[in-house]
């Protein structure tokens, strides 16, 4: 008895046990409210809904529908294409600004610039999306401004209620999430390396290509994933500015769960979406590691 007590008390005072005890409340919460619900979603995606009753028999029917029906294929493909375009636009637009703040702004002003960049994103997300509708609309700010200046003769219609509007709005919504990781990566670069590059006869441009850019890649990779993953699942933007041709997979998932009362199909769509996101992210990481030798 005393020996097992001793072993237990030794274990209880070990570093590993103390860490586990300390992390356990948060871990239990995540287990109960994240892992268990996710497991449930996986389970019901293999069941069927018969009006109000859930039939708990294993079937792949939901997945077959999710992957073969043209409507779902279109929505899924559009979600992926929009997310890819949004990610590319956001990261490409964000890089120069992160570079500017890291390399051209005086150190004591950097915090102010980062603050300036993040402020617009603490207004209500819903309202920001809605305001893009105001800007891009038929009688919107952009059209009335361009008409007033005499640059166009009639309002532009290709900028609202379609995929373009979704891309513009999301590229705006995710800007700081792209700028901040790139900025952090650029800040970590030892400035002496750049001087060394130039001392060894490289031009400013080749130094950028051969020293700065490779060292900034971890930040760019992080920014890409941070923007890409949630963008596919965005609900508000396609609903408000997307119109019928800009709807994405989340709108269908919500419809299945709430209006059509077909949870299993909604779950299968959600999981299919997650699988696609994960697969694309892994391929992206693998390509980076393979060809650019980026280490996470």
Partner 1 sequence: MKGRGLATYAVAYLLFLYAPVILLPLFAFNDGTIIAFPLQGFTTGWFVQLTRIEALHDSVFNSLWIALTTAVLSTCFGLFAARASARYRFPAKGGIMGLIMLPLVLPEIIVAVALLVVLLQLGIDLGAWTVILGHVLICTPFSIAILNSAFLSLDESLEEASYDLGETKWSTFRLITLPLVMPGIISSMLIAFTISLDEFIIAFFLTGNEPTLPVYLWSQLRFPTKIPIVMALGTIMLVASLLLLTAAEYFRRRGVARTGAKDSGGFL
Distance of CA 34 to the CA centre of its chain: 19
Interface of this chain with partner 1, residues 134 to 163, rule: CB under 8 A: 134-135, 137, 139-141, 144-145, 148
Nearer CB in complex with partner 1: 2/139: 139
Rounded to the nearest whole angstrom, what is the least distance from the CB of residue 81 to partner 1 in the complex? Answer: 17
Per CB under 8 A, the list member of 10, 12, 56, 204 interacting with partner 1 is: 204
Interface of this chain with partner 1, residues 218 to 247, rule: CB under 8 A: 225-226, 229-230, 232-236, 240
Rounded to the nearest whole angstrom, what is the least distance from the CB of residue 68 to partner 1 in the complex? Answer: 22
Residue 51's region, left for phi above 0, alpha for psi from -120 to 50, else beta, is left
Nearer CB in complex with partner 1: 27/286: 27
- The answer to whether 197 contacts partner 1 (rule: CB under 8 A) is no
Rounded to the nearest whole angstrom, what is the least distance from the CB of residue 3 to partner 1 in the complex? Answer: 23
Site map 104..133 versus partner 1, x via CB under 8 A? x-----xx--xxxxxxx-xxxxxxx-xxx-
Interface of this chain with partner 1, residues 265 to 294, rule: CB under 8 A: 266-267, 270, 273-274, 277
Rounded to the nearest whole angstrom, what is the least distance from the CB of residue 61 to partner 1 in the complex? Answer: 18
- The answer to whether 37 contacts partner 1 (rule: CB under 8 A) is yes
DSSP string, the chain: -HHHHHHHHHHHTSHHHHHHHHHHHHHHHHIIIIIHHHHHHHHHTTSEEETTEEE-----HHHHHHHHSHHHHHHHHHHHHHHHHHHHHHHHHHHHHHHIIIIIS-HHHHHHHHHHHHGGGGS-HHHHHHHHHHHHSTTSHHHHHHHHTTS-SS---TTSSSHHHHHHHHHHHTHHHHHHHHHHHHHTS-HHHHHHHHHTT--HHHHIIIIIHHHHHHHHHHHHHHHHHHHHT--HHHHHH--GGG--HHHHHHHHHHTS--HHHHHHHHHHHHHHHHHHHHHHHHHIIIII----
What is the C-alpha separation between 29 and 22, in angstroms, rounded? 13
Q: What angle do CA 251, 254, 255 make, to 5 degrees?
A: 85
Q: Which stretch binds partner 1 (CB under 8 A): 22-30, 66-74, 154-162, 192-200?
A: 22-30
Q: Which stretch binds partner 1 (CB under 8 A): 4-12, 68-76, 103-111, 283-291?
A: 103-111
Per CB under 8 A, the list member of 2, 5, 15, 291 interacting with partner 1 is: 15
Per CB under 8 A, the list member of 67, 217, 254, 262 interacting with partner 1 is: 254
Q: Which residue, among 131, 136, 133, 125, has the nearest Cα to 235 in the 3D structure?
A: 125
Q: Which stretch binds partner 1 (CB under 8 A): 5-13, 158-166, 172-180, 193-201?
A: 172-180
Nearer CB in complex with partner 1: 56/289: 56
Rounded to the nearest whole angstrom, what is the least distance from the CB of residue 207 to partner 1 in the complex? Answer: 12
Nearer CB in complex with partner 1: 1/116: 116
Interface of this chain with partner 1, residues 42 to 101, rule: CB under 8 A: 44, 93, 96-97, 99-101
């Amino acid at each position: 008895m005393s020996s097992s007590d001793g072993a237990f008390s030794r274990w209880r005072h070990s570093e590993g046990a103390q860490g586990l005890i300390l992390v356990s409340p948060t871990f239990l919460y995540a287990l109960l409210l994240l892992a268990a619900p996710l497991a449930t979603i996986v389970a019901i995606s293999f069941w069927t809904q018969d009006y109000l009753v859930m039939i708990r028999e294993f079937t792949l029917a939901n997945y077959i529908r999710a992957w073969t029906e043209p409507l779902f294929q279109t929505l899924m493909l559009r979600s992926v294409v929009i997310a890819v375009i949004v990610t590319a636009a956001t990261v490409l637009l964000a890089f120069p600004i992160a570079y500017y703040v890291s390399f051209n702004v005086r150190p004591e002003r950097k915090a102010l610039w980062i603050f300036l960049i993040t402020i617009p994103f603490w207004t209500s997300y819903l309202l920001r999306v809605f305001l893009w509708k105001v800007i891009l609309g038929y009688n919107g700010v952009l059209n009335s401004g361009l008409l007033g200046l005499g640059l166009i003769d009639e309002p532009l219609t290709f900028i609202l209620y379609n995929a373009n509007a979704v891309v513009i709005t999301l590229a705006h919504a995710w800007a700081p999430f792209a700028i901040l990781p790139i900025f952090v990566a650029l800040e970590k670069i030892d400035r002496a390396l750049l001087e060394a590059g130039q001392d060894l006869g490289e031009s400013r441009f080749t130094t950028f290509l051969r020293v700065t850019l490779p060292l900034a890649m971890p930040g760019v990779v992080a920014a890409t994933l941070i923007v890409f993953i949630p963008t596919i699942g965005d609900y508000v933007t396609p609903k408000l500015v997307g119109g019928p041709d800009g709807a994405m997979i989340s709108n269908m998932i919500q419809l299945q769960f709430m209006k059509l009362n077909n949870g299993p199909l909604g779950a299968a769509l959600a999981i299919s979406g997650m699988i696609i996101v994960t697969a694309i992210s892994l391929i992206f990481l693998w390509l980076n590691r393979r060809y650019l030798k980026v280490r996470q």
